[in-house]
Chain A
């Protein structure tokens, strides 16, 4: 496969008219050819616009309630499926790097205690909010395990997190995948917040702060969150943790800061 082949096949590729093996051949060439990437990008743009050209239909009236109902009462089947997919990979790959063993060893107790913390929360909140929190917590656990596995494969990087004056004995570690947007923040020593409050994680670059999710510590002040940053974690200026209203958090940090660390340059 060369540039002329790609040029000839690009229009067939972007409308999905090539069989899988030829598609892969073209993609392989394009991955290493900036000129073909640019050529193909224009073709893809046009092809994607075809999706807008279909006759517009009104969705059925009940679809909205069905979707939102599914969101709030999503079955655990998909979660269990993800767990099954993550666990074997963890078991197989964890032997590759000592870093991974240490990180996972630190994480596993937190997965259990974090889950218990959410169960306590279950007793205090209404059913709908609880279902969302429980699902989020379990997904966070699987996300975190998945990220840790990928971190170990990529060599893994860690940044220590410091407690602020509001929580001088608190601390933590940011584990992340080099040159990628995934990370796991593991915290400890965080004080118990009043009901209706949680710890919200913020990613800062320049003047922009992005929420990376909520954390709810167990009785020992331990918690974690799986982070998917809008950019490579290495490029973040800092990571902060503040107290904010649960479960949705705040659009921008408003509460007291409990944890902080610089990321870029560490």
Chain B
């Protein structure tokens, strides 16, 4: 029998262990709370860190993090192991929910310089999480290294879009630059990011 056709997806980012994720989902479907406990310890740090980065509000970040794991518990079938790793899916859900929430509340004004420097200042954060695999930690560190090497103005434009939910029109307006400049910064920054990640052996075809 031919294998199921692999659907095109935006969600898969890294090699996952589909059998482990399938086994985990099967246990969740059977109501096994220990399966959720394992998933929580494996992924909560990345989920919470991402949501907190977007919302910059610890209390809201807790709410969204809880929401993400509850979604997995209540709707384990909404995650499809064929479309990527469970960690990637959790982060995708967390990101979407946080951005949705962010767009519903007034913008928080922060100095742009702080926004630009934040990743660099903390790029050396190597604190270890026993719930995270060495592979996950190495990947996260490689991404932080790559981010730190993107020209600051390009990274700023990318972060305003990706972590603050702003369109290129809004970015252009806030930075007081032509629309074309904002678009170019995002494109050049992402090209640079792909090249750096490729050099790290993470993205194979930049």
A53 touches B206 (CB 8 A): no
State whether A54 and B50 are in contact (beta carbons under 8 Å apart), knowing that A11-B191, A213-B29, A235-B1 are contacts in the complex: yes
Q: Which residues of B contact A235 (CB under 8 A)?
A: 1, 4
- B46 interface residue per 8 A CB criterion: yes
In chain A, residues 137-182, which have Cβ atoms closer than 8 Å to a Cβ of chain B?
A: 139, 143, 181-182
Smallest CB gap from B90: residue in A: A51
B206 touches A46 (CB 8 A): yes
Contacting residue for B45 out of A14, A41, A58, CB 8 A:
A58
Smallest CB gap from B118: residue in A: A55
Give CA–CA (A214, B32) in the complex, Å. Answer: 11
Q: Which residues of B contact A211 (CB under 8 A)?
A: 26-27, 29-30
Give CA–CA (A248, B66) in the complex, Å. Answer: 23
> Among A16-24, A84-92, A97-105, A186-194, which stretch is in contact with chain B?
A16-24
Contacting residue for A213 out of B9, B30, B44, CB 8 A:
B30
A17 touches B161 (CB 8 A): yes
Smallest CB gap from A205: residue in B: B1
Contacting residue for B33 out of A43, A44, A71, A213, CB 8 A:
A71
A71 touches B13 (CB 8 A): no
Contacting residue for A57 out of B45, B66, B82, CB 8 A:
B45
B143 touches A52 (CB 8 A): yes
B194 touches A42 (CB 8 A): yes
Contacting residue for A56 out of B14, B22, B29, B129, CB 8 A:
B129
Q: How many A-B residue pairs have CB under 8 A?
A: 208
Chain B count of residues within 8 A CB distance of the other chain = 87
In chain A, residues 26-65, which have Cβ atoms closer than 8 Å to a Cβ of chain B?
A: 37, 40-60, 63-64
State whether A12 and B168 are in contact (beta carbons under 8 Å apart), knowing that A54-B50, A71-B70 are contacts in the complex: yes
Q: Which residues of B contact A59 (CB under 8 A)?
A: 44-45, 48, 62, 65
State whether A230 and B81 are in contact (beta carbons under 8 Å apart), knowing that A50-B147, A60-B62 are contacts in the complex: yes
B46 touches A51 (CB 8 A): yes
- A231 interface residue per 8 A CB criterion: yes
- B86 interface residue per 8 A CB criterion: no
- B181 interface residue per 8 A CB criterion: no
State whether A248 and B161 are in contact (beta carbons under 8 Å apart), knowing that A11-B191, A17-B171, A49-B143 are contacts in the complex: no
B119 touches A55 (CB 8 A): yes
A52 touches B48 (CB 8 A): no
B30 touches A56 (CB 8 A): no
A37 touches B167 (CB 8 A): no
Give CA–CA (A48, B46) in the complex, Å. Answer: 13
- A238 interface residue per 8 A CB criterion: no
Give CA–CA (A66, B26) in the complex, Å. Answer: 23
B10 touches A44 (CB 8 A): yes
B69 touches A71 (CB 8 A): yes
Q: Which residues of A contact B194 (CB under 8 A)?
A: 42-43, 46
- A1 interface residue per 8 A CB criterion: no
- A120 interface residue per 8 A CB criterion: no
Q: Which residues of B contact A123 (CB under 8 A)?
A: none
B91 touches A51 (CB 8 A): yes
Smallest CB gap from B54: residue in A: A54
B23 touches A15 (CB 8 A): no
State whether A51 and B186 are in contact (beta carbons under 8 Å apart), knowing that A45-B13, A58-B45, A230-B22 are contacts in the complex: no
In chain A, residues 201-222, which have Cβ atoms closer than 8 Å to a Cβ of chain B?
A: 205-206, 210-214
- A136 interface residue per 8 A CB criterion: yes
A183 to chain B, nearest CB (A): 11
**Interface residues as binary, B26-59 with A (CB distance below 8 Å gives 1, 0 otherwise):** 1101111100110011001110111011000010
In chain B, residues 64-120, which have Cβ atoms closer than 8 Å to a Cβ of chain A?
A: 65-66, 69-70, 73-74, 76-77, 80-82, 88, 91-92, 95, 99, 118-119
Q: Which residues of A contact B197 (CB under 8 A)?
A: 46, 49
B24 to chain A, nearest CB (A): 11
B125 touches A11 (CB 8 A): no
Give CA–CA (A74, B69) in the complex, Å. Answer: 12
Q: What are some 16 contacts across the A-B interface (CB < 8 A)?
A: A17-B168, A18-B168, A47-B162, A52-B144, A53-B143, A53-B146, A55-B118, A60-B58, A66-B62, A68-B40, A211-B26, A213-B30, A228-B29, A231-B4, A248-B32, A249-B32
7 closest A-B pairs by beta carbon, nearest first, are A228-B77, A17-B161, A55-B122, A11-B190, A53-B143, A54-B53, A59-B48
Query: What would 16 more interface pairs be, CB under 8 Å, given A46-B190, A49-B139, A181-B77?
Result: A11-B190, A11-B191, A14-B190, A42-B194, A46-B194, A48-B92, A49-B14, A50-B143, A51-B91, A52-B144, A64-B44, A68-B33, A68-B36, A71-B36, A132-B31, A211-B26
